[in-house]
Amino acid sequence: MNTPPTRLQQLLAFYDADPNDAFTIYALATEYRAQEPEKAWGYYEKLLAEHPDYVGTYYHAGKLLEQFDKKNEAEKVYRTGLVVARKAGQQHAASELLQALNACLGLDYEDD
Q: What is the pTM of this model?
A: 0.90
Instruction: Give the pLDDT score at 109.
Output: 67
Q: What is the pLDDT along the chain (112 residues), one digit of tens a residue?
A: 678 889 999 999 999 999 999 999 999 999 999 999 999 999 999 999 999 999 999 999 999 999 999 999 999 999 999 999 999 999 999 999 999 999 999 997 665 4
Q: Which of 52, 51, 48, 28 is nearest to 40 (CA)?
A: 28
Fold of 7-104: 1.25.40
Instruction: Give the pLDDT score at 97.
Output: 98
Domain boundaries, the chain: 7-104
Instruction: Give the pLDDT score at 112.
Output: 47
d(CA 88, CA 98): 15
3-state SS assignment for residue 107: coil
Instruction: Give the pLDDT score at 1.
Output: 64
